[in-house]
A and B are shown apart, each in its own frame.
Chain A
Amino acid sequence: MEFGPHLMLASLEGAVISAILVLTAMGLSIVFGVMRVVNVAHGEFFMLGAVLAWYITTLLGGHPALGFGVALIVAPLLVGCLAAFADRVILKRINYDPDRTIVATIGMLYIIQQTTLMTFGPEARPVEAPFNHRLSLPWFEFGENGFAMTWPWGLSTTSYKLFVIGAAVVVLIALWVFLTRTKIGLIMRATQQDSETAQAFGVPVGQVYSWVFGLGAGLAALGAVLVVPIQQAHYLMGHDPLLLAFIVVIIGGLGSLPGTVIAALLIGMSDGIISVFFSPTLAKIIATFLVAMVLVFRPQGLLGKTAP
């Protein structure tokens, strides 16, 4: 393949990575923004979403689309409830103290991961995509005979991958409407701005925290259900999304939602493109190091406001 089509293929892969990443990172960002909690167990909620999707599709059987459709709704709900429960039982008791929350969520990480290992097992298990048509893509070239459209061999994608990108966009818009146009969203934003004042105005801050923690975990699980037909479900699969989501949230500015979206696009696209053309390990080294540097020299991130 020539450079142009190759680049296009890499960008498409990057767009799929970005789509999943934006959902996962959004969950992390909302939780940090509203609760000021760094949730290290976020990657495990992602993994749980994928594992639940496998259980649901296997349990239901039948046409892959049926199981997948159910999983798309049920898995995020279950994971969200579990997270809200964990918030009630653990995080609330330690008063959301920043250091202790990190330690507690590290503990949650191991509990979720190892429980999955004991029940689901160490194998990677696939979930069948609801639909998976191979779509060849055209490439436009300005050759000797003027403008020509060619169909280069290997330049193709699947309908499912396009669906993932579309679904992420829809969810993002829904989330935006939810946060800016509904009463619950208003309450969440009020809690984010000043939890004490919100409490004084009768906002049940404790409940809002549980809801937000559940919502964040649910978003990660949703991203995982979408990714599981492309990448298999495995008990250690939460590690990479956690690091990437961290990177995105930091680059975008902790708690800044528009920043998160932009950073997810930036990181996802460059991850897709760099790892096609260079060694994936080198790409990761550069990305991780750059993020640490961003945090050192610009702790508020690219779009973040200065920390209160």
Chain B
Amino acid sequence: MTSFNKSNLLHFGVLAGLVILFFILPTYHVGVLSRVMVMAIYAMGFNLLFGYTGLLSLGHAMFFAAGMYGFGLAIKFGGFPVPAAFVVGVLSAALLALVVGLLALRTAGVAFMIVTLMFAQTAYLVVLYFGKYTRGDEGFILQQAERSLFGLDVTTETGRYFTAFTLFAVCFIALAKLVQTPFGKRLVAIRENEERARMLGYDAGRYKLYALVISGAVSGLAGVSYALLFGYVGATFSTVQYSIFPLLWVLLGGAGTTIGPFIGVLFMFYLIDISSGYTNAYMLIAGVVLVLLTVFAPKGIAGTLKARVFPWMP
């Protein structure tokens, strides 16, 4: 079997597995998995920029929050129907990514990280400043009636799981295909050696901007999905912590692999789920994992598997 077929098989295997899990897992874990899939969309958006293009942003929470608030505010104050609000949410994240990209991509390396961190901090403070509409840290709830998607009730366990699954599947397959296209290959070329990519005639700056906009839009879509499926919109999701999480997930799962982000989120969710049974300082686990990863396994779970066992892995 060619590696192309093998990776297709892997992707559809994961999706099939997720469908089967719904029928065999108890309700609690079905709920956790819906959350994992939504956050995996976020991680995949981050992975496109960090894993494939080699740009480390420490401010992705602003895109997640832009999607979330674009969607939530459009419903709450604009009275938009859900599909239109969905589009508004994703577009506002993409627009924010475009503006941030035009400014921040003038810098590189450490400066890029700090600039994105600062922009995200500004975004967080702006959310707090307009607390009259955003309700600040407290956040606001979207009522059940405000969240029906084409007549489908997403508040039931089944509706939520399969909506999350559909969104996840679409992003998962689309991004896996995207990185196989010439466009995706160019992003990897920029990650590996930007000078050389430029010498070969590729407009590296433009490709980085495209990558950032797509990455921001996918992260925004994750924010929209979260607001849609769990009905909560709050400033917590724009804090620095939520910029760090996707980095953690992607590093843990394996940067620059298609399956890595999902594995990372799944692993981390259960790690925190189990450890929060013992202590309220569960972020300690996140810290220890981050340090151990950077020291011992900088390639993450999927990355290490790819390097050691399955060289065909996408």
Contact = CB atoms under 8 A, between A and B. Distances in A.
The judgment on whether A and B are partners is yes
Interface of A: 38, 90, 93-94, 98-100, 102-104, 106-115, 117-118, 243, 246-247, 250, 279, 281-282, 284-285, 288-289, 291-293, 295-297, 299
Interface stretch (B70-78, B122-130, B262-270): B122-130
Interface of A is mostly: helix
Contacts of B139: none
A284 B129 CA distance: 10
Interface in B75-118: 103-104, 106-107, 109-111, 113-115, 117-118
Nearest to A246: B114
B105 to A, nearest CB: 9
A248 B283 CA distance: 28
A93 B109 CA distance: 21
Contact of B284 (A98, A100, A110, A289): A110
Contacts of A100: 294, 298
Q: Which of B114, B117, B283 has most chain A Cβ within 10 Å? A: B114
A141 to B, nearest CB: 37
* 10 A-B pairs with the lowest CB-CB distances in the bound complex, closest first: A110-B287, A107-B290, A114-B284, A107-B291, A292-B118, A111-B287, A114-B281, A104-B294, A285-B125, A107-B287
Contact of B114 (A38, A90, A110): A38
A108 B292 CA distance: 10
A296 B103 contact: yes
Given A38-B114, A117-B281, A243-B121, A106 B290 contact: yes
A93 B122 contact: no
A117 B282 CA distance: 10
B295 A104 contact: yes
B122 A114 contact: no
13 contacts: A90-B294, A98-B110, A99-B56, A102-B110, A104-B290, A111-B291, A113-B287, A114-B282, A114-B287, A118-B279, A246-B117, A281-B129, A288-B125
Contact of B295 (A90, A102, A243, A247): A90
Given A104-B290, A289-B122, 20 more contacts: A93-B295, A100-B298, A103-B247, A107-B286, A107-B287, A108-B287, A110-B283, A111-B284, A113-B287, A114-B283, A118-B279, A250-B114, A281-B129, A282-B129, A285-B126, A289-B119, A293-B103, A295-B107, A295-B111, A295-B114
A296 B295 CA distance: 31
Contacts of A109: 287
B243 to A, nearest CB: 10
A116 B282 CA distance: 12
B181 interface: no
Contacts of A110: 283-284, 286-287, 290
Contacts of A117: 280-281
Contact of B111 (A107, A115, A299): A299
A245 to B, nearest CB: 12
Contacts of B104: 292, 296
A90 to B, nearest CB: 6
B129 A285 contact: yes
Contacts of A246: 114, 117-118
Interface string B290-309: 11011100100000000000
B15 interface: no
B114 A285 contact: no
A95 B73 CA distance: 46
Contacts of B282: 114
B199 interface: no
Given A102-B56, A111-B287, A115-B284, A292 B294 contact: no
Nearest to B129: A281
Given A107-B288, A292-B103, A118 B281 contact: yes
Contact of A292 (B115, B247, B283, B293): B115
B289 A107 contact: yes
Contacts of A296: 103-104, 106-107, 115
A109 B294 CA distance: 14
B65 interface: no
